[in-house]
Structure 1
Amino acid sequence: MAFIFSGDDVCQTTTPTPIPAPYWVAFSHSSANLIGIALDDTGLPVDKEWLGVLSGNQLNTSDHHFSNPIATVYSGHQFGVWAGQLGDGRAILLGDIAGQELQLKGAGITRFSRMGDGRAVLRSSIREFLCSEAMHALGIPTTRALSIVGSDLPVKRETFETAAVCARFAPSFLRIGHFEHFAALDDVDRLREFADYLIQYHYPDSQNTDEPYLNLFQEICARNASLVAQWQAVGFCHGVLNSDNISVLGLTMDYGPFGFLDQFQIDHICNHSDQGGRYSYHRQPQIMHWNMACLASAMIPLLAGKSDEALAQEKLRSALDQFPVVYAHAWQSLFRKKLGFTTSEEGDIDLIERLLQAMHDSKVDFTNFFRNLGKLKSGESLLQNSLRDEFIDRESIDRWFDDYVARLKLESVPDEVRQHAMNQVNPKYILRNHLAQTAIEKAQDKDFSEVTKLLKILNKPYDEQSEYDSYSLAPPPNLQAVEVSCSS
């Protein structure tokens, strides 16, 4: 269901700004199939008009007409500080396609661009495209990416780069910032419209509860608690968890300076603009909880009505207190599965935490360790286990492996069954920064083959794909601490 709201206070009707000589950089077959775009033998749309539409150069194909593109207003907290009015400064919502909102990122200036140029560059567009599809393949809720269209139009960032437009879609791009914006304006009617829309189209079960708005808040919290637990389980760092970047559908969205962990460092910072480490890996659950508090504050008028505001605050606070409970349950369940446990035992959490501390101390590759852990044979000597060689403190990790093998014996599951189950939750392939950078550098020379290859590999992250083993390796030492910035 596309964005159904109208009015100058909510959105601006705007037309994408054309780019000169557009060309295809990448296209997602999976996304195209989901929204019903027919593809030819080359994997590109049969209807050639899609190049014009997805570049922002025209509004219609032979079958689809996007007659009312808009950019929406929202506000939010950025790095913990109220930033006031923000909005879609370079994202333009074309309209509905197969029940999804189709949006162009980098399609030109809108009323909300502030000091920006409304453009995106090839570098960041490739990163968002690949990570959106990689996260979907990992089974993590996310906005989807459809395509990248490039142009030789120069765009100034730290240096001059070339422009690109990334097409993405989602059931809704509504975010906490939409609620915060109208709460700041004391516009209860708009708040109610947003909440009623979410209940009608995305949280219908809330309608049948005693307090639909309170239940809506609880459900949004639960989805985002589960989401951040899934991030932690694959070592994903969002990088900019500002409240305006948080989906009220519990989707990963607004891919900027993200990064997957290589060497496990619990306090890893993937965004070099985040000098205080607010959005470091281990703080992501806490910050998501904080963002839910921002949403709770914005929703107070919906629960208060003519009654006591203090009572509304208390109800929302009580609901907010469930966030860490839902998160802990999801996190524990995921990490049990990563270790091959199908049951719950009293010492499991201690075992998980001891392992993560040891991995942190020795900077062990997060993805490869868990993937290779499934190969452990219950009858083999632990001294022959090459995984122990990844750790500095051999005595400590040997004790951990002794305890781990003892715990596995409680499962009574054959090694091959356990390995298969572990391989379904421990990916072999993630979008490592150095892989993305190689694809970007080739693309900047008009060679898009590496983007296509990475998309293919990342679409099956849990499969062995032995012909691509090199793409599962940890980065070389000089690329192990790569950080990215907010510039895109």
Structure 2
Amino acid sequence: MTHTQEIRWNLDNSYTSLPEFFYKKTEPTPVASPELVIFNNSLAKALGLDAEKLQSEDGVEILAGNQIPEGTATISQAYGGHQFGNFTMLGDGRAVLLGEQVTPSGERFDIQLKGSGRTPFSRGGDGRGTLGPMLREYIISEAMHGLGIPTNRSLSVVKTGEPVMRETELPGAILTRVSASHLRIGTFEYTANWGTEEDLRKLADYVIQRHFPNIEDNEDRYLAFYQEVVKRQAALVAKWQLVGFIHGVMNTDNMTISGETIDYGPCAFMDEYDPATVFSSIDVQGRYAYRNQPPIGQWNLARFAETLLPLIHEQQDHAVELAQEALTGYEDLYRHYWLEGMRKKLGLQTEEDQDEPLIEDLLGIMEKHRADYTNTFRALTLDKPEETAMNGTTEFTHWYEQWQARLDRQEQSKTSSYQLMKQSNPSVIPRNHRVEEALEAAVEKGDYSVMKRLMDVLSDPYAYLPEQEEYSTLPEPSNRPYRTFCGT
């Protein structure tokens, strides 16, 4: 019996049915002494893999890129992207796609090794990942999954046993990333810029078949395809805003066609509510600040629309009209998803015209008093307004009375409203200081217990368990703003 059969790999390579213009055959660069440091048992099982065998020496050789499962052809994908507004040629510079694991239920997921060495798209880089950023992506992506936000996921992190040179010498690592696909807005930009219209059509048909089979027979399927992506992006960004998640690098190459969150470089969760919050060290203009995420989502979708115009209609002027109409719908869709989510966060089970002003008033008071975003909603969920930073102020007292009166006007009981709030307001998020604490223990001391405890707490953030209490506490006050880095 082969290792492939033992581990239950069931890899397909449907992406290679596209012309070679879209990818390059690429093998991972072998590493010296791989060591598995974190592994996602439940995800492995959901993928139909034998979790125990995958953690064996032979399994780890595959997760490190030293061996390739039988029957697959590894590739790196080509794409372009607007990075901070400027368009450039990109591609998988340090990632290799093992293939698409087809699960027992027939679902298809990309299995990608990130940090597995140089590819034809490395642009002078070494193609390697370092331990801290790979563990960080593992923590945040799995936390996002726990929060119910569409995301790529993390199967494992393997230390390579080889140093990687950045500003200093750092331990090397490879992350195994799992996603519905790695197709991006930037994949279409690449095709529109350097491919033919036939290439564009083949790519669009492939994506529709893979992600939107319900529209395959639609007469205007390319316009319907665009509308579907607009809808998914609006829903995704609304979910980010509702939990205070700041992506940090919303370049078009980091926005997926599937509507999953991808690229956990300089991302972080907001503590005190401030719409101008930026964490990324390279975002000096605040282009991707918290409040800018919804409009940037629309900007990215405008770039996507430009690539699809030849397919939407043969007359360009008409194609532009149709695309603009679909894009204009983004704002209403986003507002709908956001308002629907905010109503749930406040236990509002009916709709009233004054709901939006009520929500905006609360956010304004939170901003003025530098209230913690997550813990404010947590305190309201537990009906402990005294635990908010705004307690005792005239404006908050007035707001609280208005909110209680609004709850009283509903037919549903207050108990059911508070239950809805529990399902909509996480008790815990991956607090920046907790993530740093876990990474420091793992990278500096080889102690993964801090990270594993954190992962356990984050796996069910709506549970409101006693053991989650300590993870909801805020960091010590600091004069320095928290900064994140791309990790490349």
Bin the TM-score by the shorter chain: over 0.9
> 2: CA distance between counterparts of 1:117 and 1:376?
52
1:345-404 Cα shifts (integer Å, max 9, x gaps): 111000111111111111111111101101228xxxxxxx4145x128811111111111
Q: CA 1:17 to 1:297, structure 2 compared with 1: closer, same or farther past 3 Å?
A: same
Q: Is the 8 A contact 2:188 2:307 kept in 1?
A: yes
Corresponding position: 1:451 with 2:463: no
Q: How many residues align?
A: 470
Equivalence for 1:421 = 420
- Distance in 2 separating the partners of 1:151 and 1:438: 22
1:481 corresponds in structure 2 to 481
> Per-residue CA shift, 1:261-281, capped at 9, x if unaligned?
111111100212100000000
Displacement of 1:199 in angstroms is 1.5
Output the CA distance in 1 between the equivalents of 2:455 and 2:300: 31
Structure-2 residue corresponding to 1:93: 97
- Give the conservation status (yes or no) of the 8 Å contact 1:121–1:163: yes
Match of residue 343 from structure 2: 336
TM-superposition CA deviations, 1:62-104 (whole Å, max 9, x none): xxx2531100110010001112x10000011011212211001
1:9-408 map, 5 Å: 9-40=21-52, 45=54, 47-60=56-69, 65=70, 67-83=72-88, 85-98=89-102, 99-304=108-313, 307-376=314-383, 385-387=385-387, 390-391=389-390, 394-408=393-407
Q: Is the 8 A contact 2:130 2:487 kept in 1?
A: no
Cα distance in 1 for partners of 2:13, 2:43 equals 17
Paired residue secondary structure (1:233): helix
Quote the Cα distance in structure 2 between the aligned partners of 1:22 and 1:280. 38
1:249-296 residue CA offsets vs partner (Å, 9 max, x unmatched): 100011110001111111100212100000000000000100000000
Q: What corresponds to 2:464 in structure 1?
A: 464
Identify the residue that residue 380 of structure 1 maps to in structure 2.
none
1:387-437 Cα shifts (integer Å, max 9, x gaps): 45x128811111111111111111243343222211111001111111111
Query: Contact (CA 8 Å) 1:121, 1:155: kept in 2 or not?
Result: yes
Describe the shift of the 1:408–1:2 C-alpha distance in structure 2 as closer, same or farther (beyond 3 A).
farther
Tell me if structure 2 keeps the 8 A contact 1:157–1:487. Answer: no
Judged with a 3 Å threshold, the aligned counterparts in structure 2 of structure 1 residues 437 and 53 are, in CA distance, closer, same or farther, namely same
Tell me what 1:410 maps to: 409
C-alpha distance after superposition, 1:29-49 (max 9, x if no partner): 221121112234xxx736542
Tell me the C-alpha RMSD between the 2 structures: 1.7
CA contact (8 A) 2:457 2:467 kept: no
What is the rounded CA distance, in whole Å, between the counterparts of 2:167 and 2:479 in structure 1?
20
CA drift of 1:207 comes to 2.0
- 1:52: how far off? 0.7
Q: CA deviation at 1:3?
A: 4.5
Change (3 A) 1:46 1:111: closer
Q: Aligned in 2, Cα 1:291/1:416: closer, same or farther, shift over 3 Å?
A: same
Cα distance in 2 for residues equivalent to 1:66 and 1:95: 10
1:318-361 deviation digits (Å, cap 9, x = unpaired): 11111111101000000000001011111100011111111111
Partner residue, 1:382: none
Deviation at 1:442, TM superposition (A): 0.8
Q: Which segment drifts farther, 411-420 or 286-295? A: 411-420
Structure 1 unaligned residues grouped into runs of 5+: 378-384
Q: Is the 8 A contact 1:2 1:171 kept in 2?
A: no
1:480/1:340 CA distance change after superposition, 3 Å: farther
CA distance in 2, matches of 1:188, 1:201: 20
Mapped contact 1:177–1:244 kept (Cα < 8 A): yes
Equivalent-residue separation in structure 2 for 1:287 and 1:170 (angstroms): 23
CA contact (8 A) 2:269 2:432 kept: yes
Q: Compared with structure 1, are the counterparts of its residues 292 and 38 closer, same or farther at alpha carbon in structure 2 (3 Å cutoff)?
A: same
Change (3 A) 1:410 1:326: same
Aligned to 2:154, what secondary structure does the other structure show?
Answer: strand
TM-score, normalized by length of structure 1? 0.93
Displacement of 1:159 = 2.4
* Matches of 2:170 and 2:418, distance apart in 1: 45
Q: Percent identity over the alignment?
A: 39
**For 1:403 and 1:194, how far apart are their aligned partners in 2?**
52
- Asked whether the equivalents of residues 122 and 161 of structure 1 are also in contact (C-alpha less than 8 Å), the reply is yes
Give the Å deviation of 1:7: 4.1
- Residue 479 of structure 1 deviates from its aligned partner by 8.4
Preserved CA contact (<8 Å) 1:362 1:392: no
Contact 2:35-2:161 within 8 A present in 1 as well: no
Secondary structure of 1:478's match?
coil
1:136-189 per-residue CA deviation (whole Å, 9 max, x = no partner) reads 111111111101111332112232211110001112110011100110125111
The answer to which of 233-242 and 357-366 deviates more is: 357-366
CA contact (8 A) 1:106 1:164 kept: yes
User: Bigger CA drift: 257-266 or 47-56?
Assistant: 47-56
Which sits farther off after the overlay, 149-158 or 398-407?
A: 149-158
CA distance in structure 1 between the aligned counterparts of 2:407 and 2:250, rounded to whole angstroms: 37
